[in-house]
């Protein structure tokens, strides 16, 4: 599997027009970079309450299905990443008031990448049931994305088609 390429000039790229440049990577890599999808999906991404999370996850999941129907794997994968991020961020806020997992700032060279990078972890708080419910709602949609046969076929085909492209 080829890693997500953080070195591309995403501000000036349209990956709908150039899907050969897109790499799935791991998890949520590139979720806030890849255009035009970031601009299309981000306005709908919210998780503050279960009601908001339900509306957000349903809207983004419908976008996921719409991208699949248009044979747009990159769009579908980006919608999947936003849904996954809804789950992970809601879980983070359920476990850590304010959403901070680590002490200190994120090193500039690691923004947008996961991991502690040598920073000290903050202790978990008592679980916030509202954010935990928001996470559960997003998790259901994330599971639906990951089990979608059309998505899985398109993901395999994308990786095969562009595996040798630099």
Taking residues 101-123, report their average pLDDT. Answer: 58
Tell me what percent of the residues of the chain surpass a pLDDT of 70. Answer: 80
**Is the confidence at residue 113, as pLDDT, over 60?**
no
For residues 2 and 86, what is the distance between their CA atoms, to the nearest angstrom?
24
23: phi > 0 → left, psi -120 to 50 → alpha, else beta; which? beta
Q: What is the mean pLDDT of the chain?
A: 87
pLDDT at 166: 45
For residues 135 and 52, what is the distance between their CA atoms, to the nearest angstrom?
11
Residue with the bigger pLDDT between 79 and 2: it is: 79
| Alpha-carbon separation of residue 50 from 46, 70, 76, 100 (angstroms) | 10, 30, 23, 20
| 53-62: pLDDT as tens digits | 999 999 999 9
């Amino acid at each position: 599997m080829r890693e997500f390429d953080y070195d591309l000039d995403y501000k000036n790229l349209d990956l709908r027009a150039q899907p050969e440049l897109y790499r799935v990577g791991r998890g949520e890599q590139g979720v806030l970079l890849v255009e035009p999808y970031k601009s299309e999906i981000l306005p709908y991404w919210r998780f503050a309450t279960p009601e908001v999370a339900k509306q957000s996850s349903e809207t983004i999941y419908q976008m996921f299905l719409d991208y699949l129907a248009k044979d747009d794997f990159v769009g579908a994968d980006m919608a999947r990443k936003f849904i996954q991020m809804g789950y992970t961020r809601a879980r983070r806020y359920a476990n850590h008031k304010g959403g901070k997992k680590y002490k200190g700032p994120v090193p500039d060279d690691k923004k947008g990448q996961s991991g502690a990078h040598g920073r000290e972890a903050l202790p978990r708080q008592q679980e916030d049931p509202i954010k935990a419910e928001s996470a559960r709602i997003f998790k259901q949609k994330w599971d639906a994305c990951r089990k979608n046969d059309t998505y899985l076929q398109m993901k395999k085909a994308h990786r095969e088609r562009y595996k040798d492209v630099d």
